[in-house]
Structure 1
Amino acid sequence: MKMIVGLGNPGDEYAHTRHNAGFDTVDLIAEEYRANYWKSECGALTAKVKIDGEEVLLAKPQSYMNTSGGPVKQLCAAYKLTPNDIVVIHDELDIDPGTIRVKFGGGLAGHNGLKSIADKLQTKDWARVRVGIGRPPGRMPVVDWVLSVPKKEAWDDFVQGAQRAAEAAPFLLKNGLEKTQQKFN
């Protein structure tokens, strides 16, 4: 089994904010692969889907971004998954809106959700689909930027990024890192 984890914050006040790009992407994957039942387990909302005949666990940690590692670790233990079995989808400030980048391991770019996962799994080595949200304009604090819902054209870019990420994550499971990077990066 493999697991696709979308990072975000639970609750209506965070719905469709830039920081919830991972949640929005997992929701698109769930829709595409007809997830018909979400359940609460291990501190996350989960659903099982079949992607190219293989069972895949979709997960949205419900512990808030900065403590996402706890639910990810619990799900890995419950389903006997290793870091090599997971794909984490998250927002990325250093990538232009509407674009994505796929990578394995590497730095955490100050992202608290990734820091939490790295801390709990004791490694930075897992696959990542990074959804570009760009940097805030002017002197706007980063926290205000990531916790805001994109407006107008920025919304179109945000949706495009989530849609590309929703295509890339299943493609990655089937075709591996190199082919996925060639197609999506």
Structure 2
Amino acid sequence: MFVIVGLGNPGNKYEGTRHNVGFHTIDLLGHKFNISVNKLKHKALYGEGRIGSEKVLLGKPQTYMNLSGESVMDIVNYYKVPIEKVVVVYDDIDLEVGKLRIRKQGSAGTHNGMKSIIYNLQKDEFPRVRIGIGRPEKQNLADFVLSRFSTSEEVAIKEAIEKSAEAIESIVTEGIDRAMNKYNG
């Protein structure tokens, strides 16, 4: 079983913000693989289904970004999922808008949601898919990640979310190395 977690903030107020690209990727995967992400447990909205022959759980923590690790830890402990089968998809200010980067493991960088997950799991050896949201020029970082994409950025971010869903499907069905070779171009 794979646990695929998209990071974001719950509620209509945050819908469509830069910080919620992880949630949007989970929504797209749910739609594509007919998995309803509508159950509430583990401090997350989640749904179970299949991608290819693999059983998956799609999750959207409802703890707000900075406490995402509480939800992820609860899911991992409950389902006894090996850490290398936990895939996290989230926004990254260090990548330009629409760029994608897959890694097998690594630090949280500046991302508070990832800091929370690594802190709670006490491990960083899990795959992650980072979606570039750009870096603010003068705007406060917190305000920037909670802002919406400009009209000129919307096409690139929509394509990046679609590509991230494809990359996650590849991780699940073909393995992380193959997915990295395909999508880290």
TM-score normalized with structure 1 length? 0.96
Alignment of 1:184 with 2:171, yes or no, is no
Alignment of 1:35 with 2:35, yes or no, is yes
Q: Distance in 2 between matches of 1:174 and 1:142?
A: 36
Cα displacement (A) at 1:45: 0.3
Cα displacement (A) at 1:49: 1.7
Q: Distance in 1 between matches of 2:168 and 2:31?
A: 14
Tell me the SS of whatever aligns to 1:68: helix
| Alignment match, 2:149 | 150
Supply the AA of the counterpart residue of 1:182: N
| Structure 2 spans left out of the alignment, 5+ residues | none
| Alignment match, 1:63 | 63
Cα displacement (A) at 1:37: 5.5
Closer, same or farther: CA 124–12 of 1 in aligned 2, 3 Å: same
Q: Distance in 2 between matches of 1:102 and 1:37?
A: 23
Query: Retained in 1: the 8 A contact 2:106–2:125?
Result: yes
Cα displacement (A) at 1:36: 3.4
Tell me the SS of whatever aligns to 2:40: strand
Query: Retained in 1: the 8 A contact 2:37–2:59?
Result: no
Q: Distance in 1 between matches of 2:54 and 2:167?
A: 16
Q: Distance in 2 between matches of 1:36 and 1:139?
A: 39
- Dislocated runs of 4+, deviation >4 Å: none
Closer, same or farther: CA 7–37 of 1 in aligned 2, 3 Å: closer
Which deviates the most, 121-130 or 36-45?
A: 36-45
Q: Distance in 2 between matches of 1:168 and 1:13?
A: 28
Query: Retained in 2: the 8 A contact 1:18–1:146?
Result: yes
Supply the AA of the counterpart residue of 1:170: E
Query: Retained in 1: the 8 A contact 2:87–2:127?
Result: yes
Q: Distance in 1 between matches of 2:167 and 2:98?
A: 13
| Alignment match, 1:17 | 17
Deviations 1:156-181 (Å, cap 9, x if unpaired)? 11111111111101111111222111
Closer, same or farther: CA 78–132 of 1 in aligned 2, 3 Å: same
Q: Distance in 2 between matches of 1:148 and 1:11?
A: 14
Cα displacement (A) at 1:82: 2.4
What's the C-alpha RMSD, in Å, of the aligned pairs? 1.0
Deviations 1:85-111 (Å, cap 9, x if unpaired)? 100000001111112110011121110
Deviations 1:6-60 (Å, cap 9, x if unpaired)? 0000000000100001000000000000113520011000001211121100000
| Structure 1 spans left out of the alignment, 5+ residues | none
